[in-house]
Amino acid sequence: MENINVNQRLDAKGLACPMPIVKTKKAMKELESGHIIEILATDKGSKADLKAWANSSGHQYLGTIEESGVLKHYLRKSSNVETKNENKHPHTISNEELILLLEKNNQAVVLDVRESAEYAFGHIPGAVSIPMGELEKNCGNLNKEAEIYVICRTGSRSDLAAQMLTKNGFEKVVNVVPGMSEWTGKAEGI
């Protein structure tokens, strides 16, 4: 394989969402426009997360190479002209509000965009599992007329997923914050 020239390396191995994105944001501020950063990560969800973050902030996601269980992500910092303010999905709901809503409305669609292993070890009963990296190709399986409450571990992936769904014509999308890391409602799993 050809050696890829990078201007900076960032070690995010062993860190879970949202830390690879948090560290990448900070490193990108120090990087010059047009330079390439390599982010080393072991979190399988980081591929979809970093790609979605790069797209929402205007930076260029170049690709990911996996070697010996380490994901090497490559991003190019855009110039000031290309970079945009990072989008945030405008519609959110707290964990507590979702718990109350689910008690009243068993028709609500909860979309869990965490990786399948995260979902298996604990999820909201009846939640639909579509990992962030598979969402774009599988969003046709969701009802565009339904209210969809998107959840992940911390609210970061779900924010990016909510933006992506809205861009694909879903109008009733709500991001759940802070997500499963602080979930106190009913849950099931292994």
d(CA 170, CA 163): 9
The residues near 138 (Cβ < 8 Å, ≥ 6 apart) are: 130
Is 152 among the residues known to form the active site? no
Cα→Cα distances 13→16, 23, 109, 139, Å: 9, 11, 33, 30
- The catalytic position among 10, 17, 54, 102 is 17
d(CA 158, CA 122): 16
Asked if 27 and 58 touch (Cβ cutoff 8 Å), the reply is: no
Q: Coil, strand, or helix at residue 129?
A: strand
The residues near 67 (Cβ < 8 Å, ≥ 6 apart) are: none
Catalytic positions: 17
